[in-house]
């Protein structure tokens, strides 16, 4: 009997709280079967990614180390421990997968994995995301905060088009059109993310409303009623001029992926660029912040 059939590889490292979702998403983009996050009191989070026993992890290690170096140079306070790899029984992975349940992201958006069934109630929209390939599954606070804020914005404003910067799995762009936006553009610099987002968009039957671009914000054309960016604070502040330029007058900017500790820095930085703070949402140690612009007042 080939006992490797019952084994998978587990790659683990310890990271600071601000980086856990970034590292988790990146590992999922490297074809991890799934990722788990475990809090270590006073020391950060252990992020563990599960890979097929047949996969060559050497190129994955090279890519991950390059990404960790990028975070070290761009994310204030980032730290990561040593990377470890071990073989574990496949049953441990199956237990984790079975614990990943359908989650309510907002009043009208419910997100489920493919192996779970959910009968939507009146007014609800169900989005199917495969967590083995996704960069956002709705289980993280920052994703839920974005969807909750989007739901309120779209219900109370005329939102024709949406730009999702750093779209990952495409979950926010998909949510935007499900909530009533006429169309959405998903933008990501990672071609792997764009390919996975394309699959999720097709899976949720919104290919006619959601388009994808691989590249940087400065290459995006047009202006948007709503721009959503669920990425880390440094990237948002670096792109503040481009974000302002890409918004229509009276448009709305929604940013998430922001630790509470970076709140004041982020708000003041965007206000200096001409954005007007309107409100914020908080869950745990994370916030989403909503801004608008009034170009006639400048």
Residue 100: pLDDT band by 50, 70, 90 thresholds?
Answer: low
Residue 263: pLDDT band by 50, 70, 90 thresholds?
Answer: very high
Q: What percent of the chain has pLDDT over 90?
A: 41
Indicate if 133-297 has the same CATH topology as 3-98.
Answer: no
Ordered by start, the domain boundaries in the chain are 3-98, 133-297
Residue 46: pLDDT band by 50, 70, 90 thresholds?
Answer: confident
pLDDT single digits (tens) 216-239: 999 899 999 999 999 878 889 999
Mean pLDDT of 147-154: 95
- Spatial distance between the Cα atoms of 212 and 215, rounded to a whole number of angstroms: 10
Inform me whether the pLDDT recorded for 2 exceeds 80. no
pLDDT averaged over the chain?
85
- Spatial distance between the Cα atoms of 168 and 190, rounded to a whole number of angstroms: 8
Mean pLDDT of 169-184: 94
Domain 3-98, CATH class in plain words: alpha beta
Sign of the dihedral defined by the CA atoms of residues 70, 75, 76, 80, in that order: negative
Residue 6: pLDDT band by 50, 70, 90 thresholds?
Answer: low
> β-strands 125-128, 109-112: how paired?
parallel
Is domain 133-297 in CATH 3.40.50.150, yes or no? Answer: yes
Residue 133: pLDDT band by 50, 70, 90 thresholds?
Answer: very low
> β-strands 161-165, 183-188: how paired?
parallel
Provide the pLDDT for residue 205: 95
Rg over alpha carbons for the chain, rounded to the nearest Å, is 19
Residue 49: pLDDT band by 50, 70, 90 thresholds?
Answer: confident
pLDDT single digits (tens) 264-298: 999 999 999 999 999 999 988 889 999 999 877 65
How far is Cα of residue 195 from the mean position of the Cα atoms in its chain?
15
Q: Which range has the top average pLDDT, 5-14, 132-141, 240-249, 289-298? A: 240-249
- Spatial distance between the Cα atoms of 45 and 38, rounded to a whole number of angstroms: 5
- Spatial distance between the Cα atoms of 161 and 224, rounded to a whole number of angstroms: 6
Determine phi and psi for 137, rounding to 5 degrees: -120, 0
Q: Look-up: residue for tokens 């990672």?
A: 190
């Amino acid at each position: 009997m080939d006992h490797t059939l019952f084994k998978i590889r587990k790659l683990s490292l310890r990271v600071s709280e601000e980086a856990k979702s970034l590292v988790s998403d990146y590992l999922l983009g490297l074809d991890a079967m799934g990722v788990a996050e475990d809090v270590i009191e006073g020391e950060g989070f252990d992020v563990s990614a599960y890979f097929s026993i047949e996969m060559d992890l050497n190129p994955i290690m090279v890519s991950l180390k390059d990404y960790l170096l990028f975070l070290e140079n761009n994310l204030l306070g980032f730290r990561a421990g040593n990377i470890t790899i071990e073989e574990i029984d496949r049953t441990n992975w199956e237990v984790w997968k079975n614990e990943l349940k359908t989650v309510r992201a907002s009043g009208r958006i419910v997100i489920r994995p493919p192996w779970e069934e959910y009968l939507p109630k009146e007014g609800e929209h169900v989005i199917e995301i495969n967590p083995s390939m996704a960069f956002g599954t709705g289980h993280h606070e920052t994703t839920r905060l974005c969807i909750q804020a989007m739901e309120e914005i779209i219900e109370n404003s005329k939102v024709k088009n949406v730009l999702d910067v750093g779209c990952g799995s495409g979950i926010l762009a998909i949510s935007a059109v499900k909530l009533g936006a006429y169309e959405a553009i998903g933008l990501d610099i990672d071609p792997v993310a764009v390919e996975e987002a394309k699959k999720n968009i097709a899976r949720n039957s919104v290919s006619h409303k959601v388009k994808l671009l691989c590249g940087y914000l400065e290459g995006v054309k047009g202006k948007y009623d709503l721009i959503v960016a669920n990425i880390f604070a440094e990237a948002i502040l670096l792109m503040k001029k481009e974000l302002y330029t890409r918004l229509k007058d009276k448009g709305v900017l929604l940013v998430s992926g922001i630790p509470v500790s970076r709140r004041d820095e982020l708000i003041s930085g965007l206000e200096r660029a001409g954005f007007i703070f309107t409100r914020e949402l908080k869950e745990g140690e994370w916030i989403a912040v909503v801004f608008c612009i009034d170009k006639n007042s400048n």
